[in-house]
């Protein structure tokens, strides 16, 4: 597939890193062909209702335009983020909090470069789906 929407190596866009630290390229909703989600930061009617109603993205503390990520918030490490992080650590071996710490410490470009390496399929090079634990491109 090489240059399709699944490939993390083709994007360095902050638009594909959610305020909570989720890399949207790894999300099943972003990778699927049917009802494809364009990413958390992109306004679209194609998102499923849970994405539109995301309590973190719609957080009253976050809706200040000077804030890019949850770590910019005075309530950083709030219960919503901790709950999401615990779920992703347990089910998907990925941490939103670790992602946010990495972005804050090293910057978005380095974070994305690290994500490219970490989540690349060893067979085809496309992005592994964090929710499925496999590559949707080659089923590896």
Tokens, residue 132:
């499925």
Question: In this predicted model, what pLDDT tens digit does every residue of 34-79 receive, in sequence order?
Answer: 888 888 888 777 777 777 788 888 787 766 555 688 998 888 999 9
The answer to whether 7 and 1 are in contact (CB under 8 A) is yes
pLDDT digits (tens, 9 = 90+) for 127-139: 999 999 999 988 8
Where in the chain does DSSP place strands (E)? 128-129, 134-135
**Between the CA of residue 11 and those of 38, 106, 115, 116, what are the distances in Å?**
13, 18, 11, 10
Report the interhelical angle of 96-106 vs 108-118 (nearest 10°).
Answer: 130
pLDDT (average), residues 7-31:
79
Contacts 24+ apart (CB under 8 A), 48-57: 55/80, 56/18, 56/19, 56/20, 56/80, 56/81, 56/84, 57/18, 57/19, 57/20
- Collapsing DSSP to helix, strand or coil, 60 comes out as coil
| pLDDT of 104 above 90 | yes
Q: What is the mean pLDDT of residues 101-116?
A: 92
Domain edges within the chain: 8-135
pLDDT of residue 11: 53
* Angle at the Cα of 6 from the Cα atoms of 72 and 4, rounded to 5 degrees: 125
pLDDT above 90 as % of the chain:
45
pLDDT at 122 (0 to 100): 92
Query: Looking at per-residue confidence, does 46 or 95 come out higher?
Result: 95
Confidence bin at 7 (pLDDT 50/70/90) = very low
Residue indicated by tokens 């209702």: 49
- Selected residue with higher pLDDT from 45 and 91: 91
């Amino acid at each position: 597939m090489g240059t399709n929407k699944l490939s993390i190596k083709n994007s360095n866009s902050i638009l594909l890193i959610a305020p909570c630290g989720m890399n949207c390229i790894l999300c099943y909703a972003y990778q699927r062909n049917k009802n494809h989600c364009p990413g958390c930061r992109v306004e679209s009617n194609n998102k499923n209702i849970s994405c539109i109603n995301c309590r973190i993205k719609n957080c009253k503390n976050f809706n200040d335009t000077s804030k890019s990520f949850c770590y910019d918030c005075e309530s950083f490490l709030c219960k919503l983020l901790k709950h999401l992080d615990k779920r992703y650590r347990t089910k998907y071996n990925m941490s939103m909090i670790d992602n946010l710490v990495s972005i804050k410490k090293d910057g978005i470009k380095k974070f994305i470069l690290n994500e490219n390496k970490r989540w690349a399929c060893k067979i085809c090079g496309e992005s592994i789906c964090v929710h499925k634990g496999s590559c949707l491109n080659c089923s590896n």
